[in-house]
Structure 1
Amino acid sequence: MERLVAYFEHIPSSHRSLILVGGITLFWLIESAAPLFRFEYNKLRHAGINIFFTLTTIVVNFVLAFILLRTSDWAVQNHLGLLQWIDWPLWVEALVGLLALDLIGAWLPHWAEHQVKFLWRFHLIHHTDTYVDTTTANRHHPGESVIRFVFTTAAVLVTGAPMWLVFLYQALSVALSQFNHANIELPRRVDRLLGLFIVTPNMHHVHHHYVLPVTNTNYGNIFPYWDRLFGTYHEMAGKDLRYGIDTHLSPHEHSQVGSLLKIPFQAYRQPVGPEVVTEKQTA
């Protein structure tokens, strides 16, 4: 455990980049070999759009990173936060810290983005993707990246998480997000087993179904427990899913970077409903 702490205390930027690029590459290959949906799309062009938003997320987080560092250092030095009030064994500190960071820094903002119209306008760019695959994991408007960063900083303050734990959390978050967005479906037994510990593709794909109320379920990022605890868990067969969001099904709105960047500043659109037919997906 001490080695893990030492590694993430001083994790090189190149290693963090490798986690991002390596995850996309691995799940890209897996979903290409055994996809859940055989989409009729230009995979490279689709990836290009999502990689653009991946880069904007990296830029936002890089620019604001000093705030996260200062917040963590200040909390630790002043013994503020859940992890600072109790002398936990190291492995318990890591587990409790990861659970708390996932709840406050990921599940809570995700839920809020679906409930607050102003926040939803930024988040729906993520949901406009009608071809959900591993690159969709990083399809976030720069404004949403700022919103998420605020919640992550608040989570660090509440938990008193040291930076090694923050870096560990971010690494797991990136890798698992790429995994649970990948265009794959796990065998039921494997899904049931993994689903006891982490959010699986089978679980998260449901969240990307294009109409309410299904869209407002399965907000989990790393751990699957919060949705079950707060009553937002939902199951649905992969073959029955249709991706996208019913208010923005026109290709020119969800397949062009310029159009996607403008969406948060347009008038709010009421959900249309399940009668809308999405673009063709063949299982």
Structure 2
Amino acid sequence: MNEIIHYFETIPSSHRSIILFGGIALFWIIESGLPLFNFKYNKVGHAGINLFFTFTTILINFSMAFLLFSVSVWTAENKFGILHWLHIDNLWLQAIIGLLFMDLIGAYSAHYVQHKTKSLWRFHLIHHTDTWIDTTSANRHHPGESVIRFIFTMLAILVVGAPIWLFFMYQSFSVFLSQFNHANMKMPRNLDKWISYLIVSPDMHKIHHHYQLPYTDSNYGNIFSVWDRLFGTFMVMPREEIIYGVDTHMAPEENNNLKNLLAIPFQKYRHSDS
């Protein structure tokens, strides 16, 4: 475990890039060979829009990374956070408990709040407008949402009392598994079901991308599926019945136009009654 901790404490930027773009490349290949849905779309053009948002997210996270380091150092110096309060010395337990609560605060809670707060939903909406969910959709976040998620991640580090190695471990798992559960790949149903008892599986997350309520407001998890099951936000539906997108923005000029996607949070709000 000490070797793992040392790796994540000193993880090179090149390795973090490999995790991000290597994951996209891996699942791009898999979903091209074993697609869940045979989309009639320009896969490269679609990826271009989503990769634009990927790069804006990277830019925002990089420019504010010093805040994450500062919060992590402060928690260590002041013995603040769950890991310190519970006096957890075992490194494996630190990793497991830390990842669970980082996921709860930094992913599940951030996601839930954005769905339930009108002003924040306007930014998160861009993620849901995608009508062709594939592995590149994982990072389709408006720059405004990237800032919101960054704030929740910072809060997660504070509450957990996460050392910097734990943050980089969490970030690595989060990025890779998000690409995994967005990938347009056809997994055996039973395998997907069994995976979903521990982590968020592709079928589980794609229900969240169904274009109508109540399914849009379900399955918020990113890494672990336990939080949806525990808080009653877990839902199931046959994969064949899923229709991607959001019913207020189903026109291509709304959901497949970069200029419009950037402007959506500032446009007149449209509420779905579905």
Q: TM-score, normalised by structure 2?
A: 0.98
Question: CA separation in 2, counterparts of 1:60 and 1:266?
Answer: 23
Question: Percent identity among equivalent residues?
Answer: 59
Aligned to 2:21: 21
- Do 1:182 and 1:201's aligned partners in 2 also have CA atoms closer than 8 Å? yes
- Contiguous gaps of at least 5 residues in structure 2: none
Aligned to 1:250: 251
2:93 is paired with a residue whose SS is helix
Aligned to 2:54: 54
Q: Which amino acid aligns with 2:154?
A: T
Aligned to 1:129: 130
Aligned to 1:43: 43
Question: CA separation in 1, counterparts of 2:95 and 2:271?
Answer: 42
Matched length: 273
Aligned to 2:72: 72
Aligned to 2:242: 241
Q: Which amino acid aligns with 2:24?
A: I
- Do 2:31 and 2:186's aligned partners in 1 also have CA atoms closer than 8 Å? no
- Do 1:72 and 1:156's aligned partners in 2 also have CA atoms closer than 8 Å? yes
Question: CA separation in 1, counterparts of 2:185 and 2:232?
Answer: 25
Question: CA separation in 2, counterparts of 1:192 and 1:135?
Answer: 23
Q: Which amino acid aligns with 1:74?
A: W
Aligned to 2:150: 149
Question: CA separation in 1, counterparts of 2:103 and 2:269?
Answer: 29
Question: CA separation in 2, counterparts of 1:21 and 1:87?
Answer: 34
The Cα of 1:268 is off from its aligned counterpart by 1.1
Question: CA separation in 2, counterparts of 1:196 and 1:245?
Answer: 27
Aligned to 2:189: 188
Q: Which amino acid aligns with 1:193?
A: W
Question: CA separation in 2, counterparts of 1:43 and 1:258?
Answer: 19
Structure 1, 187-196 or 59-68: larger mean CA deviation: 187-196
Question: CA separation in 2, counterparts of 1:117 and 1:272?
Answer: 14
Deviation per CA, 1:50-107, whole angstroms, max 9, x where unpaired? 0000000000000110000100011111100011121331100000000000000100
Question: CA separation in 2, counterparts of 1:45 and 1:272?
Answer: 32
- Do 2:181 and 2:206's aligned partners in 1 also have CA atoms closer than 8 Å? yes
The Cα of 1:149 is off from its aligned counterpart by 0.3
Deviation per CA, 1:21-61, whole angstroms, max 9, x where unpaired? 10000000000001010001000000000000000000000
Q: TM-score, normalised by structure 1?
A: 0.95
Q: Which amino acid aligns with 2:122?
A: R
1:47 is paired with a residue whose SS is helix
Residue correspondence of structure 1 range 183-262 to structure 2 within 5 A: 183-262=184-263
Q: Which amino acid aligns with 1:65?
A: A
> Which 4+ stretches in 1 moved above 4 angstroms?
none
Question: CA separation in 1, counterparts of 2:196 and 2:271?
Answer: 33
- Do 2:129 and 2:246's aligned partners in 1 also have CA atoms closer than 8 Å? yes
Aligned to 2:264: 263
1:95 is paired with a residue whose SS is helix
The Cα of 1:256 is off from its aligned counterpart by 1.1
